[in-house]
Amino acid sequence: IPYTFNDPSLLDTRSFIGGKWIDAANGDKFSVLDPSDNEKICEVADLGREDTKQAIEAAQTAFKTYRKTTARERRWLMRRWADLIREAKDDLAAICTLELGKPFTESLVTVKYGTDFIDWFETAIERQYGETIPAARGENRIFTIRQPQGVVAAITPWNSPIAMVTRKVGAAIAAGNTVVCKPAPETPLCAIAVAKLFEKAGGPPGVLNIVTSSIEKSKLVGEEMTQNPFVKHLSFTGSTAVGRYLHAECAKTFKKTSLELGGNAPFIVFEDAKLDKAAEGLITSKFRSSGQTCVCANRIFVHRSIMDKFSSVLQEKLSKTFHYGSVWDRKVNFGPLYSAKAFEKIHAQIDDALQKGGKIHDDKGNLVNGVNGHAEEPDLGPNFFKPKIITGANKDMLFMKQETFGPLAFLVPFDSDAEVVEMANSTNAGLASYFFTEDISRVWKISEELESGMVGVRVGLISACEQPFGGIKDSGVGREGGRDALNEYTEIKSITVGI
């Protein structure tokens, strides 16, 4: 790769248990592929159920002492960790580019986003206040304290391989818990590097454990995490199907769960919207990270009276926003899809849309009758797929029910506020929604009516460390980030004292 590491030791292929870097007990390994050419990058330790049990036990042992650390001590640990991540930002971005295929410049943004979480939790640690409560019985006094829960299991996805780790692990560790984290099989190297920096920051052995596993073995890791009684909380980001399964398994031993699952975000452009702003917001929301985030716009509703005008403004801006090329070129800001699997899903949605009357436009606005798939840009690799706009989209198409997770924008016309709110809410998902209007009463009314955990009004980017992030309906339970995040990883204890 055209990059020289400042600290080559950050590129490791082992798991991290109880402060030791280890391979699977039986020596198993799995391959990590480079999305820009599907070639093998390296082989990583493939841990199974017994290894996971050991990691949980190491975390439980560490919890006995770590739980007694003061908020100030944990704060300095977090500060050192964040500083080391900042110092290593180029190396971390390079690892992200390598295993996720994200353009290097975009990877730097991701590293910054990941560091933001640690910074935010660090400053919140010392503000974990309890309450005093007026007691009905005059001889008593009641107050509350917040305590860590114990071992937290974290399962993270591939699409943001640093921030998804720091958002969960950072909050849990800041609150005084210990963690066993299983990163996605596609992107384990970022999690390993972040754990190396935690170790370097002086993180005590067993406080953060990383269990790497293949797609096949992840199921075994999940079984141990959901069944082991030491695990008190499972935090998961990923698909709704896997989240549903893990939630049900955790219910058997009453583990708390934080689940951030699939979205199917509506993006509404009302007739009074500023079209330039709306188009820019849509490009950010829909095409950022090649459309591979759970808060990406998925169903784009445009008022019928402005559909043609909006489509041409969007097309015009789209043709100027993205630069394609090698993901290592700093001018490039659009990368390939993460895998061949993602490619197939997009093609299924395109075929479906074509059959149902949709028209496909490429990033220059040219009408295309189909997609040449892998031959589209041979120099840019087998998983490269340029942004496309689909006009004439309708309610019967696959994308209405299924998250696209790729750079395809389906534009659906609507005629009234009531109709668009009903269409927007006609899904089981409820993660993010977006809308553009200049009408103040619509700002309030539509924000309140949309069924989602997060709403972006006149913005296409809502993700931020200080904001409670999470969904309703089938998009999950709990909130990550912001002031509520540390509360998720603590229990309230009420103490009644007789005087």
For ligand ADP, the binding residues (CB under 6 A) are 155-157, 182, 184-185, 218-219, 221-222, 238-239, 242, 245
What is the nearest approach in angstroms of ligand ADP to the Cβ of residue 446? 30
What span, in angstroms and rounded, lies between the C-alpha atoms of 314 and 49? Answer: 49
Cβ proximity to ligand ADP: between 84 and 162 the closer is: 162
What span, in angstroms and rounded, lies between the C-alpha atoms of 441 and 168? Answer: 36
Q: What tokens does 290 get?
A: 């090649």
Largest CA distance in the chain: 80
SS3 (DSSP) at 272: coil
What is the nearest approach in angstroms of ligand ADP to the Cβ of residue 174? 22
What is the nearest approach in angstroms of ligand ADP to the Cβ of residue 280? 27
What span, in angstroms and rounded, lies between the C-alpha atoms of 129 and 344? Answer: 50
Cβ proximity to ligand ADP: between 236 and 270 the closer is: 236
What is the nearest approach in angstroms of ligand ADP to the Cβ of residue 210? 12
Burial annotation 157-181 (CB, 10 A radius, 16+ → b, else e): bbbbbbbbbbbbbbbbbbbbbbbbb
What is the nearest approach in angstroms of ligand ADP to the Cβ of residue 214? 8
Q: Are 289 and 333 in contact (CB under 8 A)?
A: no
Question: Catalytic: 122?
Answer: no
Residue of 57, 224, 260, 488 marked catalytic: 260
Q: State which residue has the least CB distance to ligand ADP.
A: 222
What is the nearest approach in angstroms of ligand ADP to the Cβ of residue 126? 32
Cβ proximity to ligand ADP: between 35 and 157 the closer is: 157
Q: How many residues does the chain have?
A: 499
Q: Taking CA 404 as the corner, what is the angle to CA 355 and CA 394, rounded to the nearest 5 degrees?
A: 40
DSSP helix, strand, coil percent of the chain (3-state; round to 5): 40, 20, 35
Cβ proximity to ligand ADP: between 107 and 235 the closer is: 235
Give the DSSP H or E segment for 210.
strand 208-210
Give the DSSP H or E segment for 57.
helix 49-66
Q: Are 281 and 436 in contact (CB under 8 A)?
A: yes
Q: What tokens does 182 get?
A: 């299983």
What is the nearest approach in angstroms of ligand ADP to the Cβ of residue 380? 22
Cβ proximity to ligand ADP: between 177 and 292 the closer is: 292
Give the DSSP H or E segment for 351.
helix 340-355
| Exposure on the CB side of residue 24, measured as CA atoms within 13 A | 18
Q: Are 419 and 432 in contact (CB under 8 A)?
A: no
Cβ proximity to ligand ADP: between 89 and 167 the closer is: 167
Residue of 294, 296, 465, 488 marked catalytic: 294
DSSP β-bridge partners for residue 153:
180, 234
Question: Catalytic: 294?
Answer: yes
Q: Are 93 and 8 in contact (CB under 8 A)?
A: no
Cβ proximity to ligand ADP: between 173 and 242 the closer is: 242
> What residues act catalytically?
260, 294
